[in-house]
Structure 1
């Protein structure tokens, strides 16, 4: 008698894998979550250091190519986050899937988001301190610092609703990049899948709340604490950057961008795919 092979169970969908990913984040111990989120904040800050470096002094090059180069450089941050297992707020919002599956409470979800956000802030602030003490703003005769100032100031030129919309667009791409990594267990493949979505959001000027926790405070620190000789050497006035204040940053950039990031990743990507998954299951049930 021929024995039929036992059929292997079907591979879980990316939506199921994303839900498992989010659940692991929410139930992780607070100390472990905080530690990993500090690393993530540092990784994203280092990625922005890389971005500033590769785009400094490129004024004569084609605008789009400069942005693409900077975006590819910045993708190092998310690659480090995913491959090294750190906790980044913008990808953590995918855990809304866990909430709609009723595996965690709203309180657990929000506490997870809060500790990851705070940890990301600590990590970004640590790199900011090291960059300032290291005098990186003086690189290329101060052009590095000038580039950082201009990037930070540009982020505060958006209206509230522009910042919100750019935050949505940003985290759609970040979370779609992370979503794609669920399709592979190979580190190189996962890293490669992340690069273009991240390069697109950075080169297109979309807004990432955790990156801004480093970038805008860096501009504020340079504008407030760089000596007069720094500005004199560049032939500019520190008063040109008087809009760079923490109050302006928090109200007109950080709050709308953070909310936009939650909508883009936690609602549009996560819940959008969840709705489609539920419809698919209903059709399968009706088919039987």
Structure 2
């Protein structure tokens, strides 16, 4: 059977976190760069589908293709390492330190941003014919997304910031569930099916993903979006990164680790024989 039991994939999660800590700088950056680029391309694809069909559900249904591709190719997203790497530290794996954790997160962040920014430049060139024409309908949509997800939050002050943070928490709750779900199966088809569902939920619900936003907002700025770099950092990227960290680590990594890897002791079983209770299975049929 291709299904992997929770106890087994919980162990795989810790093993994966440990491996990422000791991965070389070169490999970490390459894998993070490619993950950011592929996810950004998937976001561009979803926006294009949404604009051309007028139906955001179709775009959301197709967006997970990018996540599945990058996972199967062994590339790393910041949202994933937020969930997996701390488990190796929590499990006290030899040589895994807090410094190693921060190193991995910093490298993956840098690689993801570089990959997503590359695609942002490429898409901006495509929708403006090399910046020689006004953005087409897809380019205009990209610009407006950036405005709504920065100035839109800012207009609500503290309430907007709270909403942004909660959306980021729920995003990585779903995205990291997709990462873990892929470990539930040993077949490619099983992995894809398991990943597709939570990624679809996050995208259609409009939750905030730090790497997707590394594409949307630079592209929006290049395509005439009426917001600033400071707006992007303060009213989106920084709170989104923090929310993604909380969502993935708390609601996925820590929960699965606690109940499937460090399972609590069973409660004492009641000895029915000493209490004069005849077990149901022992009662003779009439």
Asked whether the two chains share a fold, i.e. TM above 0.5, the reply is yes
Match of 2:196 in 1: 195
Correspondence 1:74 to 2:67: no
Report SS of the residue matched to 1:192.
helix
**5+ long unaligned stretches in structure 2:** 154-159, 270-286
How do residues 105-124 of structure 1 correspond to structure 2 at under 5 angstroms?
A: 105-124=97-116
Cα distance, 1:147 vs structure 2: 1.4
> Which residue of the other structure, out of 44, 61, 67, is the alignment partner of 2:39?
44
Whole-Å separation in 1 of the counterparts to 2:260 and 2:200: 28
Establish whether residue 21 from structure 1 lines up as the match of residue 22 from structure 2: no
Q: Give the TM-score of the pair, scaled to structure 2.
A: 0.82
Matches of 1:68 and 1:37 in 2, distance apart? 28
Does the aligned pair in 2 maintain the 1:68–1:200 contact within 8 Å?
no
Q: Deviations over 1:90-139 (max 9, x none)?
A: 11112211110122111101110110010000101111122122336899
Measure how far apart 1:12 and its partner are.
Answer: 4.6
Does the CA contact (< 8 Å) of 2:127 and 2:136 recur in 1?
no
Cα distance in structure 1, aligned partners of 2:24 and 2:61? 33
Query: How far 1:278 sits from its partner (Å)?
Result: 5.8
2:88 pairs, out of 98, 101, 104, with 98
Q: Runs ≥4 in structure 1, deviation > 6 angstroms?
A: 137-141
In structure 1, the residue matched to 2:258 is: 275
Equivalent-residue separation in structure 2 for 1:69 and 1:273 (angstroms): 31
Q: TM-score, normalised by structure 1?
A: 0.82
1:249 aligned to which of 217, 232, 246: 232
1:67 Cα shift? 2.7
Distance 2:181 2:110 in 1: 27
Residue aligning to 1:218 = 219
Q: How many residues align?
A: 253
Task: Tell me how large the CA RMSD over aligned residues is.
Answer: 2.2
Structure 1 Cα separation of the partners of residues 265 and 166 of structure 2: 33
1:269 and 1:46 map into 2 onto residues whose CA distance is 26
Aligned residue in 2 for 1:85 = 74
1:55 maps onto 2:50 in alignment: yes
Which residues in structure 2 correspond to 1:137-148 (within 5 Å)? 142-148=136-142
Residues 188-197 or 30-39, more deviating: 188-197
Q: Which runs of 5+ in 1 are unaligned?
A: 1-9, 60-65, 224-240
